[in-house]
Amino acid sequence: MSPQKRFKNVQAQNRTSQGSSSFQTTLSAWKVKQDPSNSKNISKHGQNNPVGDYEHADDQAEEDALQMAVGYFEKGPIKASQNKDKTLEKHLKTVENVAWKNGLASEEIDILLNIALSGKFGNAVNTRILKCIIPATVISEDSVVKAVSWLCVGKCSGSTKVLFYRWLVAMFDFIDRKEQINLLYGFFFASLQDDALCPYVCHLLYLLTKKENVKPFRVRKLLDLQAKMGMQPHLQALLSLYKFFAPALISVSLPVRKKIYFKNSENLWKTALLAVKQRNRGPSPEPLKLMLGPANVRPLKRKWNSLSVIPVLNSSSYTKECGKKEMSLSDCLNRSGSFPLEQLQSFPQLLQNIHCLELPSQMGSVLNNSLLLHYINCVRDEPVLLRFYYWLSQTLQEECIWYKVNNYEHGKEFTNFLDTIIRAECFLQEGFYSCEAFLYKSLPLWDGLCCRSQFLQLVSWIPFSSFSEVKPLLFDHLAQLFFTSTIYFKCSVLQSLKELLQNWLLWLSMDIHMKPVTNSPLETTLGGSMNSVSKLIHYVGWLSTTAMRLESNSTFLLHFILDFYEKVCDIYINYNLPLVVLFPPGIFYSALLSLDTSILNQLCFIMHRYRKNLTAAKKNELVQKTKSEFNFSSKTYQEFNHYLTSMVGCLWTSKPFGKGIYVDPEILEKTGVAEYKNSLNVVHHPSFLSYAVSFLLQESPEERTVNVSSIRGKKWSWYLDYLFSQGLQGLKLFIRSSVHHPFPEQRA
């Protein structure tokens, strides 16, 4: 094997070319390259460190030693060599160490198998080599076929043959293909003659047999063998397999309860096999931890025999009906009148049979069936909902990966399961109570990373309820994660809270129109509902204000916050619900003084919508005349007017620090900015300045210096048209609705 041809999991960056560039590796590796005969230190090193933190360089050294060892074996023993035994021992050790630690590449296995079975070395060496042929990942089929061909030559001893068969049985699952090996079925079958090999060959055949391998002459042969050797468990196993494939060929009765047919051929390689399986599964995402929880002791026996988490759809014919004594099973199956689920294919079918639908035996199965989700959605049958509730609650609890240590391999499955639930919730436009209960239990334990997107979506589907009641159970835990996590996490939380708000609003706006208006406890309930929604909004306001401070007024974050308020400002008109909550000053002023035009534009839009909502409410109040508990307090209007004054003062009338934001004139003087008054209007505001310059350059492209202060009078309104044409629709709406004059009076 050439040195370039290496397939091990050695870090590429540590692979140095042969020769002078070896300065990158450590001394030990360097030494090996310098003096191939003196690699003792390496093998010793390997011995002393069974498993553990190897340096990359040691891996490298080991790799080289392995290549050398394999090369040595390939050449065969050198007769003349004086310390032949010593060298042999050294190389064997190297191979053993690497094999048990990392496994061997399929090329190396090919060579070693060849050596072990060709009889170049003695029996003891062959045994040792065979015992350490452990694949890193897979074994190529060709190597096995080649190895089997050596068996025909008769160069290896009986014990080596036995060991080879045992090895083959143990490694069977790691052989990449089996077609060629199956072609050798006849050869293996003939080896049954050999008494010593018989048990192991039987085991191999047991693994290998396909239906087409079962032939009458083979059955006869097996029966002959059985007659000769007596009732051997391994023969019985093979016979019963044959009987399974071709019952007509075998009339002999075989004993029933027999569990162990084969002596465990794999014993020799037990730990190695586990390691290979682990490697093939890929690196475990979560290192094994030492934990104090009770859960890590318990092996996971999760799925008893179902392949998926969600049960298969089955109608429950026998549960209900077979309960009745007089009814036999066949009656149940043939009875008319109810509509079997298996036949349910379309929505019209569902509508026609909704009164006589046979429900599934396991309610959880509806999750995968959109038609039945419709059914679940409209049915008000308590047992149906309870069955679904119980199933979903327990399944979530069982599957949740951060409840149990070492459960991370099921992460993908859990994510998929959550996705399915979320799809169902979106489909129904309704959250499940089980999910809410699950969040109560699992959110305090959540790390904020695992299944983040799914988890936050679950939050946005929490059914509407009293905010103050849910807050300590959910939002307080979420807040802890919110404040300690990255800006991206903060944004996703805000996004999901926006969706939560939207879902609550939709639910409430549907709800009040469905219930009768007069003299029901509705009024109090609606009042309470509005109270709950307003608490949610205030809570998000608090989160946002603090987050803005923590993230030093990040524009990115502000976008998400304003997205939330875009929903908030339109509650009265869009959802027909009596609620207007303004944003907190920390958000308003951050947005107003932002350097980002799109933020300012969004702020203008939100202010415009607040205005629309508040005027609509006011108008409604005047029409109704009677005082309603939902009349907004004058404080809301005052607050809005205050914001409005500030905004108009800054952007339009160039009187920024008078009414809205009040800053002491003395302090303003100290700043030394001479022209502070117009510095925040639509021309000079930092986020608009570039527009002003572009506008002027467009007007007179030859101008070498631009004077933005020249934008006044007629030019001011042209400039506005220019801004509107640049897609600043929010600004347009705001100015159209809140500023009554085409341009500021003072400039007219």
Partner 1 sequence: MDSYNAPESTPSASSRPEDYFIGATPLQKRLESVRKQSSFIPTPPRRKIPQCSQLQEDVDPQKVALLLHKQWTLYSLTPLYKFSYSNLKEYSRLLNAFIVAEKQKGLAVEVGEDFNIKVIFSTLLGMKGTQRDPEAFLVQIVSKSQLPSENREGKVLWTGWFCCIFGDSLLETVSEDFTSLPLFLANGAESNTAIIGTWFQKTFDCYFSPLAINAFNLSWMAAMWTACKMDHYVATTEFLWSVPCSPQSLDISFAIHPEDAKALWDSVHKTPGEVTQEEVDLFMDCLYSHFHRHFKIHLSATRLVRVSTSVASAHTDGKIKILCHKYLIGVLAYLTELAIFQIE
DSSP state of 135: B
> Least distance (Å) from partner 1 to the CB of residue 394?
4
Are the C-beta atoms of residues 421 and 435 closer than 8 Å to each other? yes
Question: Binding string, 345-364, against partner 1, x = CB under 8 A?
Answer: ----------------xxx-
Which of 273, 479, 522, 644 binds partner 1 (CB under 8 A)? It is 522
Q: Which of 371, 512, 550, 593 binds partner 1 (CB under 8 A)?
A: 512
Figure out which of the listed residues 47, 180, 480, 524 binds partner 1, where binding follows CB under 8 A. 524
Q: Which of residues 602-621 bind partner 1 (CB under 8 A)?
A: 620
Rounded to the nearest whole angstrom, what is the least distance from the CB of residue 162 to partner 1 in the complex? 24
Of residues 457-486, those binding partner 1 (CB under 8 A): 465-466, 468-470, 472-473
Cβ–Cβ under 8 Å, residues 92 and 126: no
Distance CA 107, CA 100 (A): 16
Least Å from the CB of residue 464 to partner 1: 9
Residue 238 CB partners (closer than 8 Å, separation 6+): 202, 205, 206, 209, 222
Asked whether position 635 contacts partner 1 by CB under 8 A, the answer is no
Q: Please tell me whether residue 52 binds partner 1 under the rule CB under 8 A.
A: no
Q: Is 292 one of the binding residues for partner 1 (CB under 8 A)?
A: yes
- Residue 629, interface with partner 1 (CB under 8 A)? yes
Q: At what angle do helices 634-651 and 729-738 cross, to 10 degrees?
A: 110
Instruction: Give the Cα separation of 170 and 131 in Å (integer).
Output: 11
CB of 227 to partner 1, least distance (A): 21
> Which one of residues 79, 211, 281, 301 is an interface residue with partner 1 (CB under 8 A)?
301
Task: For residue 553, give both structure tokens.
Answer: 């007024």
Does position 523 interact with partner 1 (CB under 8 A)? The reply is: yes
User: Should residue 211 be labelled a site residue for partner 1 when binding is judged by CB under 8 A?
Assistant: no
Residue 478 near residue 469, CB atoms below 8 Å: no
Extract the tokens encoding 532: 């709950």
The yes or no reply on residue 521 touching partner 1 (CB under 8 A) is yes
Confirm or reject binding of residue 56 to partner 1 (CB under 8 A). Answer: no
**H-type helices in 209-346, by residue range?**
216-229, 233-245, 270-280, 317-321, 329-334
Instruction: Report the amino acid identity of residue 510.
Output: M
Is 158 near partner 1 (CB under 8 A)?
no
How does 262-279 read in b/e, with b if 16+ C-beta sit within 10 Å? beebbeebeebbebbeee
Note whether 248 binds partner 1 by CB under 8 A: no
Q: Is 294 in the site for partner 1 (CB under 8 A)?
A: yes
Instruction: Report 380-399 residues binding partner 1 (CB under 8 A).
Output: 382-383, 385-387, 389-391, 393-395, 397-398
One of 12, 124, 227, 297 touching partner 1 (CB under 8 A): 297
Residue 571 sits in the site that holds partner 1 (CB under 8 A) = no
Q: Residue-wise over 549-575: b if at least 16 C-beta within 10 A, else e?
A: eebeebeebbbbbbebbebbbbbbeeb
- Taking CB under 8 A as the rule, does residue 525 contact partner 1? yes
Supply angle C-alpha 171, 173, 175, rounded to 5: 75
Task: Compute the 3-state secondary structure of the chain and give helix, strand, coil in percent, each to the nearest 5.
Answer: 65, 0, 35
Determine if 306 is a binding residue for partner 1 (CB under 8 A): yes
What CA–CA distances, in Å, run from 595 to 110, 146, 684?
Answer: 67, 73, 11
Nearer to partner 1, 332 or 668 (CB): 332
Say which residue the tokens 């929604």 belong to: 533
Identify which of residues 122 and 472 has a Cβ nearer to partner 1 in the complex: 472
Residue 295 touches partner 1, criterion: CB under 8 A: yes
* Residue 340 binds partner 1 (CB under 8 A): no
Measured from the CB of residue 266, what is the shortest distance to partner 1 in angstroms? 18
Question: Which of 4, 330 has the CB closer to partner 1?
Answer: 330
Among positions 528, 665, 713, 727, the unique one binding partner 1 when judged by CB under 8 A: 528
Between 21 and 626, CB nearer to partner 1: 626
Q: Are 722 and 698 in contact (CB under 8 A)?
A: yes
Q: Which two tokens stand for residue 237?
A: 């196993």
Which two three-digit tokens encode residue 641?
């007017």
What is the Cα–Cα distance from 505 to 512, expressed in whole angstroms?
A: 11
Q: Tell whether residue 633 is a contact of partner 1 (CB under 8 A).
A: no
Q: How far is the CB of 366 from partner 1 (least distance, A)?
A: 11
Bridge partners (DSSP) listed for residue 175:
139
Nearer to partner 1, 172 or 743 (CB): 172
Q: Which is nearer to partner 1, 467 or 688 (CB)?
A: 467
Name which of 318 and 347 has its Cβ closer to partner 1.
318
